[in-house]
């Protein structure tokens, strides 16, 4: 059976025909990881330039309710949902019920996030809120997240952001080695750190650190001077991009041939080849 190391890959990875930056060619994977890792930093810098250097009014317009950032976030979640759904179908066709079930739930979660961002199309189609939502929903909209107090919703983002940022670092090497195939399906790659950390840091500061500042100094040090409530929108945009990239990376891994899929995605546990280890190193993100 041919392994990834049996075929020489061009330096730019073009011979694979798919996503050259993820190929095992010399420097290809590292360049891809570098681009993915630093992209959210560039996005944050762009928002900071608009906010502090160009016009705060422009910034407020971009991040307003139903504004460009929120709509792009919904679109990104929608794309991630479609990729996750296609991965779910492939899993079930391959009789992989456990990962198929996990990705069915993951797909449902992404679809829900997408629709919640646009209140399930309420304002797009001009739908009036039923009496139940006008009475019990904090914003009187057709969505689920406004049934909860902000602290429960923010706690959800804190947990998701923490898991996406540090989940891969909290697992012991033994667990990562023994269940490496499963880990690739449920643990976010380290190059996605800055897609998840901003939402974790923002809501942690907004709900907890700012309170500590008030108790120590009588007023928040950063809030309103540098940090504003609507900064949640860029952070949530990066979160959606993190989910999209995570899903796209796993969908790419899944798109390999059947033999390679069994060796890189499905098998549990994954056994590394004993000989020629360096040559046959899996062409996957860490």
Measured in whole angstroms, how far is the alpha carbon of residue 26 from the centre of its chain? 27
Q: What are the residue ranges of helices labelled H in 51-172?
A: 56-62, 68-93, 97-117, 122-125, 131-136, 150-170
DSSP tag of 225: T
- Distance between CA atoms of residues 116 and 243, nearest Å: 16
Domain for residue 1, yes or no?
Answer: no
Q: What is the pLDDT of residues 186-206, one digit of tens each?
A: 899 999 999 999 999 999 999
For residue 131, is it within any domain? yes
pTM of this prediction exceeds 0.75: yes
Could you tell me the pLDDT band of residue 27, with boundaries at 50, 70 and 90?
A: low
Instruction: Confirm whether 282 is domain-assigned.
Output: no
Cα separation, 62 vs 223, whole angstroms: 20
Residue 221 inside a domain? The answer is yes
Q: Domain range spanning residue 109?
A: 19-266
In the chain, how many domains are there? 1
Mean pLDDT for all residues in the chain: 81
Please tell me the distance from the alpha carbon of residue 175 to that of residue 258, in angstroms, as a whole number.
25
Q: If pLDDT is split at 50, 70 and 90, which confidence band does 29 have?
A: confident
pLDDT at 271 over 70: no
* C-alpha pair distances (Å), 57 with each of 43, 51, 64: 18, 8, 10
Indicate the pLDDT class of residue 103, thresholds 50, 70 and 90: very high
pLDDT tens-digit readout, 109-126: 999 999 988 888 888 777
CB contact at 8 A, 166 and 143 = no
Residue 278 included in any domain: no
251, burial (CB in 10 Å: exposed 0-12, middle 13-18, buried 19+): middle
Pick from 9-13, 178-182, 226-230: least confident: 9-13
Report the pLDDT value the prediction gives residue 30, as an integer from 0 to 100. Answer: 83
In a domain, 11, yes or no: no
Report yes or no on 13 lying in a domain: no
91 vs 146, more confident? 91
Beta bridge partners of 227: 223
Bigger pLDDT: 49 vs 210: 49
Report yes or no on 157 lying in a domain.
Answer: yes
């Amino acid at each position: 059976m041919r392994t990834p190391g049996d075929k020489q890959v061009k330096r730019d990875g073009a011979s694979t025909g798919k996503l050259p930056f993820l190929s095992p060619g010399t420097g290809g994977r590292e360049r891809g990881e570098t681009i993915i890792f630093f992209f959210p930093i560039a996005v944050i810098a762009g928002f900071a330039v608009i906010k502090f250097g160009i016009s705060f009014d422009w910034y407020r317009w971009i991040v307003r309710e139903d504004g460009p950032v929120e709509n792009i976030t919904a679109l990104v979640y929608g794309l991630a949902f479609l990729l996750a759904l296609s991965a779910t179908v492939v899993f079930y066709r391959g009789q992989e019920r456990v990962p198929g079930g996990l990705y069915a739930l993951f797909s449902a979660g992404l679809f829900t996030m997408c629709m919640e961002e646009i209140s399930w199309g309420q304002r797009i189609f001009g739908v009036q809120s039923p009496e139940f939502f006008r009475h019990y929903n904090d914003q009187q909209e057709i969505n689920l997240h406004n049934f909860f107090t902000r602290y429960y919703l923010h706690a959800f983002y804190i947990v998701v952001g923490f898991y996406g940022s540090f989940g891969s670092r909290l697992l012991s090497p033994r667990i990562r080695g023994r269940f490496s195939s499963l880990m690739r399906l449920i643990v976010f790659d380290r190059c996605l750190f800055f897609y998840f950390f901003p939402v974790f840091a923002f809501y942690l500061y907004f709900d907890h650190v700012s309170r500590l500042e008030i108790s120590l100094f009588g007023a928040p040090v950063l809030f309103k001077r540098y940090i504003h409530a609507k900064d949640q929108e860029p952070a949530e945009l990066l979160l959606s991009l993190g989910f999209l990239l995570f899903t796209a990376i796993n969908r790419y891994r899944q798109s390999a041939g059947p033999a390679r899929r069994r060796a890189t995605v499905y098998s549990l546990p994954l056994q590394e080849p004993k000989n020629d280890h360096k040559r046959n190193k899996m062409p996957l993100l860490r």
